[in-house]
Amino acid sequence: MKRRAGFFQRLSSTQIVYLVALATLILGVLLVNSIGRSFFSPGNISSILTGTSVLGFIAIGQTLVILAGSLDLSVPYVTSLASLIAAGVMANNPDNVLSAVLLTLGTAAVIGLVIGLIVARLNVHGFIATLGVGLIISGYLATNFKGSFGETPLAFRLIGATGLGPVPISTIIMLACAGLAMLLLHRTRVGHHLYAVGGDIAVARTSGIRVDVPVITAHVICSVLAGMAGLLLASRLGVGSPTVGSQGGYDLLSIAAVVLGGTLLSGGKGTITGTLGGVLIFAMLDNIMSVMQVNPFLKDVVRGVVIVVAVAVYARRRIVSRPERFGTKGSAETPAAQPVPAEGS
């Protein structure tokens, strides 16, 4: 017991995430090989990485929002709307690509700004604000769009269908966005404030931080990244679709991926790298289960169990690695938040 605590203590939560990912990988190799398939074949790797792209974009944004102490449940609808704007404006004309992309991301940013203002200025909990905004967009989509709409030109479709070797372009763009988000978090003042506000808003305010700014920034970026996911989907589908976001269940799945990546749901602590690990774990898990032809209903059972078990492992580490504060007797709550920028990413 002692030794295990020591082992855990030396690992950062991000390292544990990647240990879990490695374990998933080994399991995948064993299972996939057992039915005479190769886990590392280009087709399979490309399939896994494709699975990471859309969820990756959204989960990066969700990480920022969660770090700031909020939540975003509106992402599926923003993603759908983005795919419709993109495909609608492009209308199969390559000349429109740039204006469509700008308009799509601009719209997403405005939605994020509105959410951010509702959360920060009107003091509505992120859960409710984004649930409400999601419902508003969902009604708009259902009323104004009958099935798929618009068409993306061939040049734009290639982004979703092309790869460098087995690595899809979309995954590379997603990783670039992750890099930008990391820079924002670790190299800018807003990034540091984001951690501070998510850690303890009262302390952050006392120390002179304008707490609205990081919260609004996080929501704007999250919506823009949901818009990026919409662009990618428009590229892969060739059309915009009013349901493509909700089809993926990206709201809850992205939150699960973020927490699976070691970020505290209560905010203030976590890394983008960890989130990418969480997304990768999900993508590998889905891939393995698909290759093994697991019954679709049982897939959800496995997902549900893995989320809880993995997070329980990180949580264990948090218990053992923190000096005890309030004595031993069953204190059920570790005061979670500490306004400290995350451990190494």
Partner 1 sequence: MSTALNSGHSAILKQNRASRSERLLRALRTPGGAIFILLIVLLAAIIALNPSFGEPGSFIRFIGRTAPIAIAAIGQYFVIVGGEFDLSMGSVVTMQVIIAGNLIRQDDAKVIPVLVLMLVLGAAIGLVNGLITTLLQVPSFIVTLGMMLALLGLVLYWTGGAAQGNPADSFRQIGRGGIQNVPVLDIIPYPVLILTAVAITAFVLMRRPFGRMLIAVGDNPAAAALAGSRVWWVRTRAFIMSSLSATLAGILLVGYAGVHPSVGRGYEFTAITAVVLGGVALGGGRGWVLSAAAGAFALESLFTLLNFMGVQATWRDTVQGAIIIVAVAAASRSWQRKRKGATASAHDEQHQLAATPTPAEGAEQSEQGGERV
Partner 2 sequence: MRNNSVRAIALAAALPLVALTACTTEPSVTQTTGAGTGSPGTNGAASSPASKDWFDQALYDTQFKQRSATFEGNPEQPYLQYIAGPMTDTSKYAAKGPKKVCFANASISNPWRQTGWITMNQQLKALQSSGVISGMETRDAKDNDNTQIADIDYFIAEGKCDAFVISPNSTAALTQAVERACQTGKPVVVFDRGVDTKCATTFIHPIGGFAWGIDTATFLSDKLQSGDKVVALRILPGVDVLEHRWAAAKKIFAEKGIQAKDYFTGADPAEIKKIISDELAAGDVKGVWMDAGDGAVAALEAFEDAGKPLPVMTGEDEMSFLTKWKQTGITAMAPVYSNFQWRTPLLALEKIFKGEQIPTEWVLPQKPILADELDSWLQRNQGMPSGHYAKFGGEDLPGYPQVWQQRQMP
* CA-wise closest residue to 66 among 190, 220, 228, 215: 215
d(CA 287, CA 342): 30
Rank residues 18 and 145 by Cβ distance to partner 2 and give the closer one.
145
Pick the piece of the chain touching partner 1 (CB under 8 A) from 153-161, 229-237, 271-279, 315-323. 315-323
- Decide if residue 213 touches partner 1 (CB under 8 A): no
User: Residue 335's binding partner, choosing from partner 1, partner 2, none, with beta-carbon cut-off 5 to 8 A by kind?
Assistant: partner 1
The CA distances from residue 338 to 105, 189, 267, in Å, are: 33, 17, 9
Among 11, 124, 161, 291, binds partner 1 (CB under 8 A): 124
Rank residues 122 and 164 by Cβ distance to partner 1 and give the closer one.
122
The residues that bridge with 164 in the sheet, in sequence order, are 167
Pick the piece of the chain touching partner 1 (CB under 8 A) from 13-21, 104-112, 115-123, 157-165. 115-123
- Which residues form the interface with partner 2 (CB under 8 A)? 37, 41-44, 46-47, 50-51, 54, 87, 91-92, 142, 145-151, 154, 157-159, 161-166, 168-169, 172-173, 176, 179-180, 183, 187-188, 233, 236-239, 241-244, 247-248, 290, 293, 295-296, 299
- Decide if residue 248 touches partner 1 (CB under 8 A): no
- Decide if residue 165 touches partner 1 (CB under 8 A): no
Please check whether residue 87 is in contact with residue 234, taking contact to mean a CB–CB distance below 8 angstroms. yes
Rank residues 209 and 232 by Cβ distance to partner 1 and give the closer one.
209
Task: Give the three-class secondary structure for 149.
Answer: strand
Rank residues 22 and 305 by Cβ distance to partner 1 and give the closer one.
305
Question: Where in 128-157 is the site for partner 1 (CB under 8 A)?
Answer: 128-129, 131-140, 142-143
Please check whether residue 254 is in contact with residue 58, taking contact to mean a CB–CB distance below 8 angstroms. yes
Rank residues 92 and 338 by Cβ distance to partner 1 and give the closer one.
338
Cα of 224 vs its chain's centroid, Å = 12
- Supply the minimum distance, in Å, between the C-beta of residue 189 and partner 1: 20
| b (16+ CB within 10 A) / e for 242-252 | bbbbbebebbe
d(CA 290, CA 182): 32
- What lies within 8 Å, CB to CB, of 151 at 6+ separation is 87, 90, 91, 92, 238, 239
Question: Where in 274-313 is the site for partner 1 (CB under 8 A)?
Answer: 295, 297-301, 303-305, 307-308, 311-312
Please check whether residue 334 is in contact with residue 322, taking contact to mean a CB–CB distance below 8 angstroms. yes
Rank residues 16 and 255 by Cβ distance to partner 2 and give the closer one.
255
d(CA 85, CA 280): 29
- Decide if residue 44 touches partner 1 (CB under 8 A): no
